[in-house]
Chains A and B, each alone.
Chain A
Amino acid sequence: MAVSASDLVQDIGGLITLPDVFLRINRLIEDANSSIADIAAAVSQDPSFTVRLLRVANSALYSFPSSIDTVSRAVSIIGTSQLRNLALSMSVAKSFAGLPNELVSMDNFWRHSLLCALVARHLAKEMRRCDPDALFTAGLLHDIGELVIFNRLPQQSAEVLQRVLDSQDELPVHEAEREVLGFDHSTVGGELARQWNLPTLLQECIAHHHDIGAAQKHPRETALIHLANIIALMAEVDTLDPADVPPIDPHAWEVTGLDEAVVEPAMRAAQAEVVEIEKLFTDQK
């Protein structure tokens, strides 16, 4: 019997959950009565999260002039909404470590996601009224549906990847998924984001980065993630030739107001940053 995207997400509901530290932080940030001290206390309850948060706060991502050595200082400098983005970013890599697959190594999977996150952050700074940290998180999460598909449907996933390799022009993965499964990883990821009650910005970026016209509330951010995904692929294989990667939807340029001049600087910046950032987000030791 055919499986649907929401069946898959139902299936894994019990297997991957967002860590308590994220849920606690999220609740406190939404509670108008909570203070920075309350939030810092919640962070401090998770020592490994605390260590990683301080490393990120002191990394090139933020380049603060002096070093940040306490959680409350990190929270007040980074800001609570960015803290929530960071907590989510760091939590997701951890929760998905429990969803292994044979098809792609977690290192390779997260490298693409981080490249996309870094490119998205860079592009968001070029655009007005766009939150670089929210877009970083959207970039990091844009392909999470793929991990769900790879884990739940390993045989069909192998067929999807084989189909891409057998095609002469490297058929885009999401198109091969639609051919084999009847849906693709963006639908699965969007469904998961909905089930997790993630902000609508993240839901839309994840669900529609291959079909940007479908975004209702956040078309600019969704188009930005569409661009960031393809620039991340260029960064990975180190090319500036558009023929080497799937095509960019021309509407993405219109909607974002960006132009092709942003590609190379964003790609080079992400290539330079990814080595350090990779350690911060995917080292779960």
Chain B
Amino acid sequence: MALSPLQKLPPLPLALPGFEHVKRTWHTAHECYAARILPGEYYVTKNDESVYTTLGSCISACIRDRVLGIGGMNHFMLPSTDLAEADAWKAASLSASTRYGNYAMEHLINEIMRNGGKRQNLEVKVFGGGRILANMTDVGQRNIAFVRDYLKTEGLQVVSEDVGEIFPRMVVYFPTTGRVRVKRLRSLHNNTIASQEKSYIESIREKPVSGDVELF
């Protein structure tokens, strides 16, 4: 039953420590709170709520413990290198480039495990990596190649994905059930999404990742 404007919304469920800053709004159609994440951010929850983002050439991994229903989403891309090929990140595997991808993946997985998730119960879905600007190298493919390789190395299977092609996407993930709603967006949004991703890339170039992340 949809809530009328006069009815009171349920109280905002408590966010896990470290995620209090993520903006959450009531989602009428799904009758739950939804957390909006931006490039470079991630969000993990134990609550019956959703997490959503919009992707151009960036990747979002949606990971959860399928038994406990604890999970979340990240949103990242690899900074560009001088090598344009999809495999370039391998050649530069020790460079800062892959460290951003590793960092984003490890943070998400570690946070799920810190909250009780078990590695053998992890269910992984992957989205994004679209080629939304015709006149630039296909950074989307590079991001897809990275995340596939990362998950293979970690021995984590991908149960579903929607990657590549020319579309930006809106992804809504429900960690308690594992359900995902992926909506392709019209090209009207390409420039807005691309400029958001560009400022993210510029911000991480200025602030390199320091220290190692320990994987559980």
Contact = CB atoms under 8 A, between A and B. Distances in A.
Which of B54, B184, B187, B190 lies at the interface centre, i.e. has the most chain A CB atoms within 10 A of its CB? B187
B188 A104 contact: yes
Given A103-B191, A112-B187, 11 more contacts: A112-B186, A112-B188, A161-B189, A161-B192, A162-B192, A165-B54, A165-B189, A168-B170, A170-B170, A173-B188, A237-B186
Contact of A244 (B27, B29, B50, B184): B184
A161 B167 contact: no
Contacts of A109: 188
Contacts of B187: 104-105, 108, 111-112, 236
A128 to B, nearest CB: 32
Residue picked from A161, A169, A170, most chain B C-beta under 10 Å:
A169
Contact of B186 (A103, A168, A233): A233
Contacts of A170: 170, 183, 185
B30 to A, nearest CB: 8
A244 B52 CA distance: 16
Interface in A231-278: 233, 236-239, 244
B111 to A, nearest CB: 23
Interface string A62-85: 000000000000000000000000
B172 interface: yes
Contact of A102 (B36, B186, B191): B191
B190 A108 contact: yes
30 contacts: A103-B192, A104-B187, A104-B188, A105-B187, A105-B190, A108-B188, A112-B186, A158-B192, A161-B188, A164-B189, A165-B170, A165-B185, A165-B193, A166-B36, A168-B25, A168-B27, A168-B30, A168-B34, A168-B36, A168-B50, A168-B52, A168-B172, A169-B29, A170-B170, A170-B185, A173-B188, A236-B186, A236-B187, A237-B186, A244-B184
Contact of B191 (A105, A112, A236): A105
Contacts of B193: 165
Interface residues on A, range: 20 to 34
A14 B70 CA distance: 59
CB-CB nearest 5 A-B residue pairs: A237-B184, A108-B187, A161-B192, A165-B54, A168-B27
Most chain A CB inside 10 Å of its own CB: which residue of B34, B50, B188, B192: B188
Contact of B185 (A104, A105, A112, A237): A237
Contacts of A169: 27, 29
A102 B191 CA distance: 8
Interface in B150-195: 167, 170, 172, 183-193
A263 B126 CA distance: 31
Nearest to B135: A105
A112 B189 CA distance: 12
Contacts of B191: 102-105
Contacts of B36: 166, 168
